[in-house]
Amino acid sequence: SWLSRAGAETRRGWPTVAAVLPAGGSGERMGVPTPKQFCPILERPLISYTLQALERVPWIKDIVVSVTGENMGTMNDIIQRYQHKHISLVEAGVTRHRSIFNGLKALADQSNAKLSKPEVVIIHDAVRPFVEEDVLLKVVTAAKEHGAAGAIRPLVSTVISPSANGCLDCSLDRDRYRASEMPQAFLFDVIYGAYQQCSEYDLEYGTECLQLALKYGHTKARLVEGSADLWKVTYKRDLYAAESIIKERTSKQIYIVMDRKDREEHIGVLLEEMLKNEVNNVKFTSGALCHVGRDLQPILSKQCYNFVCVNVMTSDFQETQELLNILKESNLSMLYPVVVISVHFHASESVPFGEKMENLMKIRECAKEAKKRNILLYGLLICYPQEEQKLQESLKQGVTIIDALVKERNFGLIGQLLVA
Amino acid sequence: SWLSRAGAETRRGWPTVAAVLPAGGSGERMGVPTPKQFCPILERPLISYTLQALERVPWIKDIVVSVTGENMGTMNDIIQRYQHKHISLVEAGVTRHRSIFNGLKALADQSNAKLSKPEVVIIHDAVRPFVEEDVLLKVVTAAKEHGAAGAIRPLVSTVISPSANGCLDCSLDRDRYRASEMPQAFLFDVIYGAYQQCSEYDLEYGTECLQLALKYGHTKARLVEGSADLWKVTYKRDLYAAESIIKERTSKQIYIVMDRKDREEHIGVLLEEMLKNEVNNVKFTSGALCHVGRDLQPILSKQCYNFVCVNVMTSDFQETQELLNILKESNLSMLYPVVVISVHFHASESVPFGEKMENLMKIRECAKEAKKRNILLYGLLICYPQEEQKLQESLKQGVTIIDALVKERNFGLIGQLLVA
Ligand SMILES: [Mg+2]
Ligand SMILES: [Mg+2]
């Protein structure tokens, strides 16, 4: 983080920064009744991911969100439920420009004690949840120097101009143009002045803030290359893509809770080795449960949302239950569903397989409880045959199942006992 | 289909049509080593979906695909494995325009007996798998009349022109421009003539066929509004989106195989009712297994890729096994993984639950066999308690599991026995 490099508050010349998020859209392009910023991804509304992305940037002081009157209640619920900070709500206008203008007015309003006028204001979209601190830093830095700045991307398609009768008039040289994306940033006085001077026509039909800064603020925006992840969630397929990206990001780390008994530890270690060999692009760490309580904060702050819990008491859930208690006390599952896989082993010489399965069925009740806290609990029973090759097959199958459960994050299969 | 309305071959004035698919791209934008047209979606390469979309249009006679020499073998394997018809391969050029030109040359080549020069040629992208017959019909009709036609979409982002120093020069009025998409269609002589006349610079740096037709063929293309699904799979997120769209489309129909015994039929009917009440946007049909063999073709031709098989012999898989045999004889699972859920019931008064589960574990071996034919087999054991309310809960849980299995189409969880 930039903060850790320089110490934002004290860095000489670093401006005060606020953000405005127009979120008054109706989502008609999605073909769904819910406005897209409120569409759920893993049961959490899209806009909450965007707020989270802005909140974790320590040098953004205030975030002003414009929402329509009818969605004010929904928005307040989201802020409460996901514990968003530094958010102020203002009423959206009927167009995007009017919504942004309302946000700027709230920041400039001297009678509003909660907000104060920033030196630089970021304008972002509620439906671009993957904005990184890096690009925010770049547009703010450029805005401080040039008055205005915006993220751009290469064009994916050629842009053409149709004639009045629906025929091709000309096609633009793709290399000479760019798509204007968000975030953008402005010296507050530049963009606020532009909105105060612009026409009703601009407010009604315009969409491009950089254009207002150019036309009314006589400020040529600096253009900053953004990453592909800045794209705007527009169609239903974009919601699918966003969900897959979030699933991918939350499945990058798995913590393996090992128990303390020697024999079982042995097979736990074999499972860990197999996981590390077979699953790519995932970071595995492990530790005994007795240490987890102490070491929980570092693990959780590393954004690890997946736990494989190797149980010593094969017909019992002691370790898993302790882990669930620790997770419930933390806030880890507030923002993302946390996957917990309770692993048990069955050695062929001991109790009958069916009996062992039956004993483990109580996981269904635990899973129902855990689900209330956004924890997705699954059981995994791994056969532990004497024969080396068969054991390898069992472990490999167990790895396949763990990988599938972590990557899919499926709500419908919680409480199931899977068998490897 | 248009064919069923008019009879393509005999429709007066309908032109002969071929398609050219440039597929020489390297996929550098994806950030993955595999060129994007060969990236797997549900284990099948993206380009195969696109070929399938073109093949099902009866009036497209030939499909010419340009691939690089190093991918020629891969492409031949794809054609064989997924039984694609009417495909000819030509060597791709180093640019998109050169690849298209090579495809056109092959169609015009009088010494090539397999291909003949069509009246109209469609140009499409290998990475736009969701093209519908409707838009193909529109561009071909317009090309026949105007000489050239292309699909367009509204711009999602404002297009801007940067100055040499990376600042905003101007932003284009979004309403006056469109994104040029695919498919496009041309009178063969217009586009072939344009490629023959155009400069090396055009072939090296140009991308827009409509522009060539305008500049060298003096033909103003007719622009046709396309659907959002025409978008080009460009980034990794687009692959995610495509996979979700395919999963959604293949989960729209479920066939319930009912057995013949009265008592079991009763609970099968209860399950069917619950499915119809609880699962939205899915069409359910049902029938006894003895009729399935006879009626299979109509069911399969309706693109039903999901089967819930209610078994009469609760510790046996007789019905499921028969269904699997029928499916294996058909070609249904060649293009999409077919989901089969083998449903069993457990009445509390009969054998112990654990024993019942153990008996059903043989489904794992069946699933391994079925997987070789791209059939995803899962088991579902539904408890059948006397108490009405508990029975409702079991059935509802069963419905949740069926819904999750059909929608996720998960390869890692095949052979699992899920419990409701
Ligand atoms: Mg104030
Ligand atoms: Mg020929």
Read off the pLDDT of residues A147-178 as tens digits, 9 standing for 90 and up.
Answer: 999 999 999 999 999 998 999 999 998 889 99
Cα(A323)–Cα(A344) distance, integer angstroms? 15
Q: Is B283 found in the same domain as B147?
A: no
Cα(A1)–Cα(A234) distance, integer angstroms? 29
Residue A6 is predicted with a pLDDT of 45
- pLDDT value at A19 more than 80: yes
Residue B281 DSSP class? T
Q: Is B266 found in the same domain as B232?
A: no
User: What DSSP string runs through B304-337?
Assistant: --EEEEE-SSTT--HHHHHHHHHHHHSSGGGTSP
How many residues are recorded in chain A?
A: 420
Confidence at A292, pLDDT banded by 50, 70, 90 = low
Q: In the predicted model, what is the mean pLDDT of chain B?
A: 90
Min distance A123 CA to chain B CA atoms (Å): 15
Asked if residues B120 and B140 have their Cβ atoms less than 8 Å apart, the reply is yes
Q: Does A209 contact B at CB distance below 8 Å?
A: no
Q: Is A305 found in the same domain as A164?
A: no
For residues A334 and A313, which has the higher predicted lDDT (pLDDT)?
Answer: A334
Buried b (16+ CB within 10 A) or exposed e, A46-58: bbbbbbebbbebe
Number of domains in chain A: 2
Q: Is A198 found in the same domain as A63?
A: yes
Residue A45 is predicted with a pLDDT of 98
Q: Does A177 contact B at CB distance below 8 Å?
A: yes
Model ipTM value: 0.92
- Strand, helix or coil for residue B131: coil
Give residue-wise pLDDT tens across range A184-207: 999 999 999 999 999 999 999 998
How many CA atoms does the CB half-sphere of B218 hold within 13 Å? 0
Q: Is A337 found in the same domain as A219?
A: no
Torsions phi, psi for A169 (to 5 deg): -95, -50
Q: Does B393 contact A at CB distance below 8 Å?
A: no
- pLDDT value at B384 more than 70: yes
> Among B24, B40, B15, B219, which residue's Cα sits nearest to residue B122?
B15
- Strand, helix or coil for residue B261: coil
Asked if residues A180 and B158 have their Cβ atoms less than 8 Å apart, the reply is yes
The C-alpha angle with vertex B411 and arms to B407 and B414, in degrees rounded to 5, equals: 95
Give residue-wise pLDDT tens across range A43-72: 999 999 999 999 999 999 999 999 999 999
Size of interface A-B (CB pairs under 8 A): 215
Residue A61 is predicted with a pLDDT of 96
Give the domain-ending residue among B202, B220, B246. Answer: B246
Residue B374 DSSP class? T
Q: What percent of chain B has pLDDT over 90?
A: 73
Residue B127 is predicted with a pLDDT of 96
**CATH number for A124:** 3.90.550.10
Q: Is B407 found in the same domain as B282?
A: yes
Give residue-wise pLDDT tens across range A89-124: 999 999 999 999 999 999 999 999 999 999 999 999
Q: Is B268 found in the same domain as B188?
A: no
Task: Please report residues of A whose CB lies closer than 8 A to that of B176.
Answer: 161
- pLDDT value at B200 more than 70: yes
**Residue A13 sits in which domain range?**
2-242
Beta pairing class for A60-67 and A168-171: unpaired
Average of per-residue pLDDT across B390-403: 95
Cα(B377)–Cα(B252) distance, integer angstroms? 18
Cα(A274)–Cα(A254) distance, integer angstroms? 13
Residue B230 is predicted with a pLDDT of 96
- pLDDT value at B240 more than 60: yes
Confidence at A125, pLDDT banded by 50, 70, 90 = very high
Cα(B25)–Cα(A274) distance, integer angstroms? 36
How many residues are recorded in chain B?
A: 420
B146, B157, B237: residue with CB nearest A241: B237
Q: Is A273 found in the same domain as A145?
A: no
Tokens of A109: 């309003």
Cα(B380)–Cα(B343) distance, integer angstroms? 5
Give the domain-ending residue among B225, B246, B267. Answer: B246
Q: Is B239 found in the same domain as B284?
A: no
- The rounded Å distance from CA B142 to ligand 2 centre is 25
B148, B235, B419: residue with CB nearest A361: B419
**CATH number for A298:** 3.40.50.720
Place of tokens 């972590």: A406
> Among A16, A25, A18, which residue's Cα sits nearest to residue A47?
A25
Average of per-residue pLDDT across B26-45: 81
Place of tokens 């397929």: A237
Cα(B132)–Cα(A46) distance, integer angstroms? 30
Q: Is A267 found in the same domain as A219?
A: no
Confidence at B299, pLDDT banded by 50, 70, 90 = confident
User: What DSSP string runs through A65-78?
Assistant: EEE-GGGHHHHHHH
A160, A228, A416: residue with CB nearest B177: A160
- The rounded Å distance from CA A121 to ligand 1 centre is 14
Confidence at B172, pLDDT banded by 50, 70, 90 = very high
Q: Is B259 found in the same domain as B235?
A: no
Give the domain-ending residue among B246, B277, B300. Answer: B246
